[in-house]
Structure 1
């Protein structure tokens, strides 16, 4: 069959980053915003992936729409698999990063032992295509785990977190230009586009007070899906990314072996510098500030439940207390998605009551507003900590009397 993947042009990298951004924002939108739940969302996309991958495998040549649809679904699915390990099973990100790194090494090892090449210019047989898509799935999961682990270590805001993978990709491009192995450079850059795309999605979708642009996950997903569709239409019409030849020996980048070994040392140096940056960032005092971004002012921190609730109508306080108790009960039952959906009712009720409650006693209102913000932050965290969620809800219940 003809080569089943596109030529590596600038368009390839543009659309790849668009796909990974959609993978991050779309998964969060379905799981958290719509309240479908992480396990249900993962099952849905696993089924979708099976259908889309079967469609791609049934083709005998590269078709832009089918190929990039498969990449988008793989991006979402790989993200969900990592989130499942972290959020549902409690696997530390350091462990999942190591597991996926080993899995990717095994995939590449078996692929090379069987086919004697890892070049994407040689995807002209069914076994090579299967190895290729398995490697893509693992790179998405690995990129998600390492990207989230980096944020966990550093406490960087979304706008700052974009810079690290962007800089590393630039360093890889420089190494490739100077003679590094083309296949190695491609796969390193491919892995790094996952945290770059995810961080871009977080930056665009996160609120402004958290270092983002405040577009939201839904708007970000729609914008990037539209950009992907437009790019795919362009590629389908121009065919500028179609690989015409079949000979893997004709693939670009087969350079000088001595220079390739020298540049391998350069990549090791880049990895060492990156590790030093992460260690330095981890040692900075960021954890406390990141854990409680909406901490109430000291002047309102010592209000008793009576002082906090007495200025307001008893019916309103009872409604807030009921929603909070319901949320806690759903969390105790192990239903994170239902708890997250229920806490949205608390946010809505509190915001609707603000024009009436705040003028009655601004000090008490600010105090309760801070407690509610802590609850919302805990339940809507990318990787919710059940202990923090329960503590925030119990604190709010105590403050509500």
Structure 2
């Protein structure tokens, strides 16, 4: 018989955290930063109108992702790109529109993310991304992803403002921080789930700093490519990688892994 809220075995809805996963994640976070700036500033739509437009587009794509019965690379990664833009705009609205200090928004989003993990674990007894095979688990997953983008934006802006590092130095700092997490996991056995989510948060300010470095004027410490060119470059890179994943089928969790994790959960219960 099928367990409550757990359908007959199906494919995991989340890709494996491979090199291509992290590459697209960083590219997506960069697009989240540059696309938000492009729409709100370069095209003069304003933060509020941009937020409304992107929220509607995101919800449409999210419904498609949520209703699908399996992992579809194109739909999944489009959802990530859009949630990256929405997460960025949430923080921008709080900071620029409502005047909420970055230290406050950083703390609030950190608490919200921790609370999401706590409730998720309370219901499911696992935070594994290898076993997102129910609607409830997927809902928790995307809520956590949204808070990681909002938190990463707020924390990244806070660090940038407090330390005034500049775009290129910020890229190096966050890259080193992610490297330290990887070292802690592979070298010192930091829990895989903890390492994954810390790295997931850190890729947001890394991608934002990279996007700012490429797009901002040279007078401000950037390369001056502009938000349009930078967004297009990274969108094309994402498209190439997503097509590669779609054609090769890489990134999918083997059914044996999903079955094994499901069996472990039944034993633990």
Query: Could you tell me the TM-score, scaled by structure 2's length?
Result: 0.91
Gaps of 5+ in 2: 1-9, 263-269
Q: 1:177 offset after TM fit, Å?
A: 0.4
Gaps of 5+ in 1: 251-401
State the 4+ residue runs in structure 1 displaced beyond 2 angstroms.
Answer: 247-250
Residue 182 of structure 1 aligns with which residue?
Answer: 192
Q: 1:218 offset after TM fit, Å?
A: 0.7
In the alignment, the residues of structure 1 paired with residue 36 and residue 259 of structure 2 have an alpha-carbon distance, to the nearest angstrom, of 38
Residue 121 of structure 2 aligns with which residue?
Answer: 112
Equivalent position SS for 1:240: coil
Residue 50 of structure 1 aligns with which residue?
Answer: 59
In the alignment, the residues of structure 2 paired with residue 130 and residue 113 of structure 1 have an alpha-carbon distance, to the nearest angstrom, of 14
In the alignment, the residues of structure 1 paired with residue 147 and residue 57 of structure 2 have an alpha-carbon distance, to the nearest angstrom, of 17
Structure number with larger C-alpha Rg? 1
Q: 1:248 offset after TM fit, Å?
A: 5.8
Check conservation: 1:162, 1:200, Cα contact below 8 A.
yes
Equivalent position SS for 1:22: helix
Residue 138 of structure 2 aligns with which residue?
Answer: 129
Matched, 1:200 2:191: no
Structure 1 residues 193 and 248: CA distance shift in structure 2, 3 A: farther
Residue 215 of structure 1 aligns with which residue?
Answer: 225
Structure 1 residues 81 and 249: CA distance shift in structure 2, 3 A: same
Q: 1:247 offset after TM fit, Å?
A: 3.1
* Structure 1 residue corresponding to 2:71, chosen from 62, 72, 75: 62
* Structure 2 residue corresponding to 1:41, chosen from 47, 50, 53: 50
Residue 3 of structure 2 aligns with which residue?
Answer: none
In the alignment, the residues of structure 1 paired with residue 130 and residue 195 of structure 2 have an alpha-carbon distance, to the nearest angstrom, of 14
Aligned-CA RMSD value: 1.2
TM-superposition CA deviations, 1:271-317 (whole Å, max 9, x none): xxxxxxxxxxxxxxxxxxxxxxxxxxxxxxxxxxxxxxxxxxxxxxx
Aligned length: 251
Check conservation: 1:121, 1:248, Cα contact below 8 A.
no
In the alignment, the residues of structure 2 paired with residue 40 and residue 249 of structure 1 have an alpha-carbon distance, to the nearest angstrom, of 43
Residue 88 of structure 1 aligns with which residue?
Answer: 97
In the alignment, the residues of structure 1 paired with residue 155 and residue 173 of structure 2 have an alpha-carbon distance, to the nearest angstrom, of 12
Matched, 1:249 2:258: no
TM-superposition CA deviations, 1:109-158 (whole Å, max 9, x none): 00000000001001011100000000000100000000000011011211
